[in-house]
Amino acid sequence: MHGSTGGTDRPAQTESADPSPTALAQAQAQSPSSGGAGEAIVKEEGAQLDFSKDMSYGDYLHLDQVLSAQHPLSPDHNEMLFIVQHQTSELWMKLMLHELHGAVAQVAADQLPEAFKMLARVSRIMEQLVHAWDVLATMTPPEYSAIRPYLSNSSGFQSAQYRQIEFMLGNKNAAMLKPHAHRPALLAAVQAAYEAPSLYDEVLRLMQRRGIEVPPSHRERDWTQPYVANDGVTAAWLQVYRDPKAHWDLYQMGEELVDLEDAFRLWRFRHVTTVERVIGFKRGTGGTGGVSYLRKMLDVVLFPELWALRTEL
Ligand code: HEM
Ligand SMILES: N[C@@H](CC(=O)c1ccccc1NC=O)C(=O)O
């Protein structure tokens, strides 16, 4: 590991941040007394300073790759914000998918405490993404207009990870597979999420295993079809919510799912509001109506019976 990142094979972009050979030689030649308090503290603490043979922080995190993946296409100062905002969002989405896959597997295996831990993390990640909009909202319409022509027809609409998250949460739509048709590996991942039972489908199967009757149409179904709300499923959740103590973990599961959908709704709302303040009602680069499309997405309900039961209680 250590051999691969030192010396000549570093990417050009990080080169300028490196100390010049003269500065490094000076630091090595300085006596402890001449380096000031900072250097004395480092020495006293025993911090390791030579990584020519050991794995360092940057080696472990592959920072050469991560930090050399920002390539603005425009001459505009603000494009770096736009790129970093999206790349960090994709990293959080990667973790979210990792946790969601774990949670679905744990629910299917009746391991609910483990599933709760993962779902709580998914909700906190979604909240993190909600707050991330505050940074992007510092970008004004003229600032974004300087970048937008360089984006061509690219759009978040084509995010393969976002689409997998939507599918895992039950918002299935075959048309959303098409933007990935030219990338077999991405298509396979999105298609797998499209064809698999969603988190909510797995929770309904769990309820049936626990003796709470779920209508057959909602236990076994064509998982590629969008979920359709059902009074029998509301009745099943009502049994749980009318006697929480008797069904404590299903009750906790219901509330975990509501937490998650609550956070997702906030994300969608911050997205559409940020888009309106930045591009108004222009069409999107992805080809949709823009704000009009994103407003329709605000009407998506992922776990409908968990909301419906509140009116009945
Ligand atoms: C100035 C910033 C942004 C603008 C103007 C913007 C605009 C839009 C527009 C107009 C759409 C509709 C699709 C289209 O026709 O392009 C869209 C979709 C989307 N955007 Fe953004 N967006 C911004 C920032 C972001 C960020 C930071 C993310 C985070 C990853 C993101 C993720 C998405 C996703 C996932 C979709 C698809 C939503 C869906 O299909 O429900 N966008 N965006
Ligand atoms: N759809 C946006 C473009 C956009 O926001 C975007 C472009 C490339 C990569 C990520 C993007 N973010 C979310 O859609 C627009 O119409 O301006």
Q: Which CATH number characterizes residue 226's domain?
A: 1.20.58.480
**Residue list, ligand 1 pocket, CB within 6 Å:** 85-86, 89, 136, 144, 155-157, 159, 162, 271, 274-275, 278-279, 284-288, 290, 293-294, 297
18 and 158 in one domain?
no
- 284 belongs to a structural domain: yes
pLDDT band (50, 70, 90) for residue 41 = confident
pLDDT band (50, 70, 90) for residue 292 = very high
pLDDT band (50, 70, 90) for residue 188 = very high
17 and 85 in one domain?
no
Last residue of a domain, one of 16, 31, 66: 66
Counting beta carbons within 10 angstroms of the beta carbon of residue 39, is it exposed (0 to 12), middle (13 to 18) or buried (19 or more)?
middle
Residue numbers of the domain that contains 143: 81-312
Asked if residues 181 and 187 have their Cβ atoms less than 8 Å apart, the reply is: yes
To test the pocket of ligand 1, the residue of 294, 296, 302 to mutate (highest count of ligand atoms within 8 Å of its CB) is 294
The closest ligand to the CA of 290 turns out to be 1
Higher-pLDDT residue of 8, 97: 97
pLDDT band (50, 70, 90) for residue 214 = very high
CA 28 to centroid of ligand 1, rounded, Å: 49
How many of the other CB atoms lie within 10 Å of CB of 50?
7
204 and 298 in one domain?
yes
Residue 105 clears pLDDT 90, i.e. is over it: yes
The annotation status of 2 as a binding-site residue, yes or no, is: no
62 and 87 in one domain?
no
d(CA 242, CA 194): 33
54 and 114 in one domain?
no
The annotation status of 84 as a binding-site residue, yes or no, is: yes
**Whole-complex ipTM:** 0.98
CA 182 to centroid of ligand 1, rounded, Å: 21
Residue range 219-228, pLDDT digits in tens: 999 999 999 9
- 71 belongs to a structural domain: no
pLDDT mean over 98-118: 98
Indicate which residue's Cα is closest to atom 41 of ligand 1.
297
pLDDT mean over 272-289: 97
Residue 31 clears pLDDT 80, i.e. is over it: no
Domains of the chain: total: 2
pLDDT band (50, 70, 90) for residue 206 = very high
Q: What's the per-residue H, E or C state across 45-69? A: HCCCCCCCCCCCHHHHCCHHHHCCC
pLDDT mean over 301-312: 98
109 and 59 in one domain?
no
- 197 belongs to a structural domain: yes
- 290 belongs to a structural domain: yes
Phi-psi region of 17 (alpha: psi -120 to 50; beta: other; left: phi over 0): alpha
What pLDDT sits at residue 40? 85
CA 159 to centroid of ligand 2, rounded, Å: 10
What pLDDT sits at residue 156? 98
- 57 belongs to a structural domain: yes
- Ligand 1: which atom is nearest the Cα of residue 157? 37
- 75 belongs to a structural domain: no
Residue 194 clears pLDDT 80, i.e. is over it: yes
Residue type for 11, please? P
From 93, 90, 79, 285, select the one nearest 179 (Cα to Cα).
Answer: 285
In the three-class reduction of DSSP (H, G, I as helix; E, B as strand; rest coil), residue 238 is classed as: helix
How does DSSP classify residue 222? -
> In this structure, what token pair is assigned to residue 251?
């009750």
226 and 182 in one domain?
yes
pLDDT band (50, 70, 90) for residue 10 = very low
The closest ligand to the CA of 136 turns out to be 1
- Ligand 2: which atom is nearest the Cα of residue 144? 17
- 28 belongs to a structural domain: yes
